[in-house]
Structure 1
Amino acid sequence: MLEVRDPADVRSVVAEVPAMTAAEVAAAYDRARTAFEGWRRANPLDRAAVLARAADLIRARAEDGAVILVRENGKTLAEARVEVTKTADFLDYYASFARQPWGELLSDARPGTSTSVRVEPVGVVLAICPWNDPLITPARKLGPALIAGNTVVLKAASQTPGIALWAAGLLLEAGLPEGVLQVITGRSSEISDALLASPDAVTFTGSNEVGALLRRTLASRSVRLQAELGGKNVSVVLKDADLDMAAATLVSAAFAQAGQRCTATSRLIVDASVAAALVSRLRDAIAGIVVGPGLDPATTMGPLSYAAHRDGVLEHIERARKEGAAVIAGGGRPSAAALAHGCYVEPTLISVTPEQSLWRDEVFGPVLAVTTATGFDDAVRLANDTAYGLSAAVFTTSLTSANKFIEVAEAGQVAVNLPTAGWDVHHPFGGFRESGSAFKEQGAPGLRFYTRIKTAAVRFAW
């Protein structure tokens, strides 16, 4: 069995789930392969009805799901409620595609011939999901996969398996046929070979290291791969920005969910002429963040999701200190005795130079690195000087600067006077460079990964 511990107090075991074996994973694939034959032929409107009913059930039991999320993951109850709501939105959104055009007719130069393009499911999809958004990330994958007619083997993160099982139970209650969705719980080190043995496609959200392993493993077998990987998201504050608005937005973007979002702002570039004024505002706003258990209504930032990750974030901060970076706020574990057994890290603001490791390495925690630039071009140079390219933002009152930044920013998502996070279910999502593969998630483009195209020509007269 796998124990799931409360990140607010790691002495508390909140759930136990099976540590499945390789043989059990293989059996799950067999069930998914069998179920695929019926699900792919189901009327798309019937598939949509299942997703819509599941969305209704999720909303009706939202508080139950939110509490599971908080106890497994550590985010605040308010953040968990948003995740549950967005999960239902994903299922509703992709259910709507059952009534959208599905294929097309094409002209054919051959006499008496009609040619069409048909859209088919790819087969059995392996969905590997992370611990930081353990409900909404599966929904982002399940919605398009299921409406297209695929079956899914879902590997839940070992730290947060309960919420995946909760969602799968509601889908079954909504009428999803047995075998269409299989949830795998277990230690990846023990079942990874079995997981990768027989999928037709793999969709993965997680680290670049695992993403590289998947590319190497799957390349020789022509198994398609969708990967949403790391990020070192940047916000640029130009000298004409509204500093009050920018500071409030940046604090939310950097420290919501304790910084454990792939789109969280982790780099901040400020025009040198307004840097002192912005940093002062940020320091004041950070002082107002209340760190504590996610179920406490007074809490505005919860713990990190597990102890090893907390320790890794603290190591990043300590390394930055040794390299000469200046900690402006935070920088350690909270001193309150009531938080001693939790995975807490203070919201941290650090002044760095672009040569220091904190500027380049993904931390995935409540740590915001800030440096200065001289003018727009220098800021863009610094913003694009990264291996990643997931999300970027600029704060300015100039339409010229805003549009120039949108054009030159090397990121899959670009925002103006908005956080780097916050993209909705119908917004195509995915990064450039080392932040992911060419396949987008979300929106209409999110369906492409889960479908294949067949062109059919019929000569009806001769």
Structure 2
Amino acid sequence: MEQNLKNLVNGEFVEASTSERIDVFNPARPDQKVGSVPSMPKEDLERVFAAAAVGARTWKNTGSLERGKVLLSAAELIRERKNELVSTIVTEMGKTTAEATGEVGKTAEFFEYYGSMGRDEFGQFLPDGRPETFAARLVEPLGVVLLITPWNDPLLTPARKLGPALISGNAVIIKPATVTPLITLRLAEILHEAGLPAGVLGTVTGRGSKIGDALFEFDQLKAVSFTGSTAVGKDIQHRLSPRGVRVQTEMGGKNAAVIMDDADLELAVPTIVAGAFAQAGQRCTATSRLIVQKGVAARVRELIADAVRQLTVAPGETEGADMGPVVDEASQASIREHISRARSQGAEVVAENELSGAAAEAGFFVAPTFLQITPDQDLWAEEVFGPVLGMVEVDTLDEAIELVNDSVYGLSSSIFTRDLGQAFDFLYGVDTGQVSINQPTTGWDIHHPFGGFKDSGSGYKEQGHDALTFYTRVKAAAIRTK
């Protein structure tokens, strides 16, 4: 059934001022329309920001216990509506049912985690050397914050940002990706039902070419949290820095996993295959570079090649599917072009999955591909954001660390080894915001600080208590009591 949804503006679900709508299609079956959302013109944004300014005052003056109760109620509603939300993610974005189920579960956990912070401390008393003086560190919300969220985790990423933003007392305006807006509007319905006051959450759906610039023009805007491409993230930083608007970016990645000669291959190989090809490789933390010590390189090549050939690629609702389609035709063409260019530059295709059934007949599917490459080829440096894994061989750990750091990105890395000394050398030697030992480059929990270095992100972390820093400001207070 098609989901034809409306935007949440000032506590009401409304159409755009024009009749134009954006249609949403199933990437596994591109001729299947799954819903539509309003295509808001920039003239509609003034009402959204005005409502948020009022909502920010209301929500700031709402006690943290009450704010927490709303988030906890939202978590409960998300779990109650799991099946509906999973179906929306599968048909709108293309994830497998298992992947979408995991995303819905994590989303509930985010609201549960931050909802429980309603009972946490927000500030502290401070000693003061002056006589009869009371001093304190007060933590306040920023006001109106804008969240720009991506299509690859269209429910989880909004939750990752909304949780800390709302428990801190901010009003939020959220702009989901144009290809996957339905699930964000469903989440807005849940938060509205959970008890958010009017104006505390507003949703904006529309094409970036029409409203993208206008989103940053309003004086009410105090902060922007963005997840997406590095080029867009840097543009937002440059655009807003002169105004003092706080910017958080979570951008690209070219994540590397290292396998040393002493590694447990029964652990390493399936972990890396899942990290590279689950979610069709469409994760900022996906494993896209594999660095293998030469003593086990031949065996690793063989095991990963076998695993790639055995992956089941099919529409997301297919039982037993390991990988669904990529999100749209443009992504499909871009990924295939990366593979073609790698071949033309001398990369060896070690294994390529043979698509069959529905995946071979229609839809935006890309065959999972495993290549032997060299660091001077484009595939080594460029983010593909698809089911493509490139492998190189090294002699030593020092070489491996040097190659991990040979990237403009610094999001996530991992090493597989039984040697504790090698593990710690790697831990301290790599220039990535996330480091794993005998774990994937993907898969961080909700309470773990998340974010990369270099061109992968800003200095503000997401998740955990660290996430609150971006959405709050500190006010120092001193009061002479007599």
TM-score range, shorter chain: over 0.9
| 8 Å Cα contact 1:11/1:341 also seen in 2 | no
For the aligned residues, what is the CA RMSD? 1.0
Separation in structure 1 between the aligned mates of residue 356 and residue 117 of structure 2, nearest angstrom: 51
Separation in structure 2 between the aligned mates of residue 337 and residue 54 of structure 1, nearest angstrom: 36
1:206-217 matches, within 5 Å, as 206-217=228-239
1:193-342 matches, within 5 Å, as 193-198=213-218, 199-330=221-352, 334=355, 336=357, 339-342=360-363
1:21-100 matches, within 5 Å, as 21-100=41-120
Q: What TM-score do you get using the length of structure 1 for normalisation?
A: 0.98
1:62-461 matches, within 5 Å, as 62-198=82-218, 199-330=221-352, 334=355, 336=357, 339-461=360-482
How big is each residue's C-alpha offset from its partner over 1:63-97, in whole Å with a ceiling of 9 and x where there is no partner? 10000000010010000000000001000111111
| 8 Å Cα contact 1:65/1:84 also seen in 2 | yes
Higher mean alpha-carbon deviation, 192-201 vs 125-134, is at 192-201
| 8 Å Cα contact 1:236/1:270 also seen in 2 | yes
Does the C-alpha gap of structure 1 residues 339 and 183 become closer, same or farther in structure 2, counting only changes over 3 Å? farther
Identity, % of aligned positions: 49
What residue ranges of structure 2 are gaps of 5+ in the alignment? 1-20
Q: What TM-score do you get using the length of structure 2 for normalisation?
A: 0.94
Count the aligned residue pairs: 460
Separation in structure 1 between the aligned mates of residue 79 and residue 432 of structure 2, nearest angstrom: 33
How big is each residue's C-alpha offset from its partner over 1:420-444, in whole Å with a ceiling of 9 and x where there is no partner? 0000000000001110000000000
**How far apart are residue 338 of structure 1 and its match?**
5.5
**How far apart are residue 191 of structure 1 and its match?**
0.2
Q: Which amino acid aligns with 1:159?
A: V
**How far apart are residue 5 of structure 1 and its match?**
0.8
Separation in structure 1 between the aligned mates of residue 102 and residue 454 of structure 2, nearest angstrom: 29
Separation in structure 2 between the aligned mates of residue 338 and residue 316 of structure 1, nearest angstrom: 20
What residue ranges of structure 1 are gaps of 5+ in the alignment? none
| 8 Å Cα contact 2:315/2:358 also seen in 1 | no
Aligned-partner SS, 2:212 = helix
Q: Which amino acid aligns with 1:379?
A: A
| 8 Å Cα contact 2:359/2:365 also seen in 1 | no
How big is each residue's C-alpha offset from its partner over 1:187-239, in whole Å with a ceiling of 9 and x where there is no partner? 01100122111211000000011011101110110000000000000000001
**How far apart are residue 337 of structure 1 and its match?**
5.9
Separation in structure 2 between the aligned mates of residue 309 and residue 184 of structure 1, nearest angstrom: 24
| 8 Å Cα contact 1:8/1:339 also seen in 2 | no
Separation in structure 1 between the aligned mates of residue 332 and residue 396 of structure 2, nearest angstrom: 36
**How far apart are residue 284 of structure 1 and its match?**
1.0
Separation in structure 2 between the aligned mates of residue 70 and residue 330 of structure 1, nearest angstrom: 24
| 8 Å Cα contact 2:52/2:173 also seen in 1 | yes
